A and B are shown apart, each in its own frame.
Chain A
Amino acid sequence: MSERKTTNVEVRLPSRMGFEKVAMSTAASVAKLMGFREDRIEDLKTAVAEACINAIEHGNRLNEKLSVGVVLSAGEDSLEVKVIDDGTGMKKQPAKPDIDRKMHGEEDPRGMGMFLIQALVDEAEWVSGSDGRSSYVRLVIRLDKEQA
C-alpha cells in the first residue's frame, strides 16, 4: 500500500462576524496551490465561509473569548476542511430552503447556509464531540480527474 501524503494548514478565528473571510481566503489559497479549477475554488470559498459563520454565530454564540478552529488537510486528490467550534452541534438538519415559502412569509428568509454547504462541496458532515462541548463540520472537495 502506498503512503498518502497530507499537508495541514490551521487557522484560528475570533468568534466575530467577518473573520470567516480569513478562512475563506486561506482555503482558496490552498485549493489554488493544489490545482483546483477557479469555479470549484469559488464553491469552496462559499462553503467554508458559511461553515465558519455557523460556528461563530450558532456554535460559539458570538462569544469572542472562544475561537473557531479551521483545519485544512490537503491530500493528493482532495482537500478536507474541518471547522471546529465549542457548541454542542446540531440536533437535526434543517429542511431544504423553499423560496416559495420564503416569499409567502411561511419560512424565515435566512437559513440557507447549510443547504449551500451541502450543495457546493462533495462531502459535508456535522459531528458532535463526544464530550458535548465541541463540534465540527467536515467538508471535502475533490480534484476532478482532468484537473488532478
Chain B
Amino acid sequence: MQTETKSHVDQLTSPAGHAVTVLRFEGDIASTSRDAVLGAYQALPKSTVKLILLDFTKVDYINSSGIALVIQLLIEASNSGQKVYAFGLSAHFVKVFTMVGITKYAGLYPGQAEALAAL
C-alpha cells in the first residue's frame, strides 16, 4: 500500500563554491523507507561529503516513522561532522518538522536555489 521510496544522489556546487551532495527522495517516507533514506545516506563517502541537501520535492507522505529515519540520518551526519539542510517540503511538513524540532539541526528552505544560495 505504501508507495515505494526512491532516492538518488546528485553532486552540485553552491554559488559560494562548496561541493554539495543532494539526496533526492520520491514517494512515501515511512517505516519501509529505511534503505532509501538511511541506506542512501550511509553509502555516501563520509570523508568527502560535508554538505548534504535533502530534496523532498517529490514526497507526498511522511509519517512519524519516516521522520524518525530523518532524525537518525541527522544523528549520523552530526556524528560525522556533516551539515544537513532540506528543501521542497510542503507547508504542512515544514510545520511538522518545526514542531518536532528538526529545524534546530537541519535548515529548511523552500527550494533548491534558496538552499544552495545559503550554503
Name A42's closest neighbour in chain B (CB-CB).
B92
* Residues of chain B with a CB closer than 8 A to A119's CB: 99
Contact A105 B64 (CB under 8 A): no
Contact present for B75 and A116 (CB under 8 Å): no
A35 contacts partner chain B, Cβ-Cβ < 8 Å: no
Q: Size of chain A's interface in residues, with CB distance under 8 A? A: 30
Distance of A83 from chain B, by nearest CB (Å): 14
Which residues, 75 to 113 on B, are CB-close (under 8 Å) to A? 75, 78, 90-92, 96, 99-102, 104-105
Q: Which of B69, B75, B100 contacts A115 (CB 8 A)?
A: B100
CA distance A113 to B96 in the complex (A): 11
Q: Is the interface of B mostly helix, strand, loop or mixed?
A: helix
A103-B105, A116-B99 known; A39+B92 contact, CB < 8 A:
yes
A16, A43, A108, A112: the one contacting B67 at CB < 8 Å is A112
Interface bracket on B: 20 to 34
Query: B30 contacts which chain A residues (CB < 8 A)?
Result: 17-18
CB pair A18 B2 closer than 8 Å: yes
Within residues 106 to 126 of chain A, which ones have a CB less than 8 A from any CB in chain B?
108-113, 115-116, 119
| Complex interface: chain B residues within 8 A of A105 (CB) | 75
* Number of A-B residue pairs with CB-CB distance less than 8 Å in the complex they form: 75
Chain A 1-45: CB-based contact to B (< 8 A → 1; otherwise 0) = 000000000000000111111100000000000000001001100
Chain B residues near A112: list those with CB within 8 A.
64, 67-68, 100
**Binding stretch for chain B, among A46-54, A72-80, A131-139, A140-148:** A46-54
The reply to whether A109 and B31 contact each other, CB–CB distance below 8 Å, is no
Q: Are A21 and B64 in contact (CB under 8 A)?
A: no
The residues of A that contact B71 with a CB separation of less than 8 Å are 99, 102-103, 109
Q: What is the CA–CA distance of A113 and B67 in the complex, to the nearest angstrom? A: 10
Seed contacts A46-B92, A109-B68; 12 additional CB < 8 Å A-B pairs = A17-B1, A17-B2, A19-B1, A20-B63, A22-B1, A42-B91, A42-B92, A46-B96, A99-B71, A102-B75, A109-B69, A111-B64
- Across the A-B interface, give the 9 residue pairs with the lowest CB-CB distance, nearest first: A18-B1, A99-B101, A42-B92, A18-B2, A109-B68, A109-B71, A110-B68, A113-B64, A112-B64
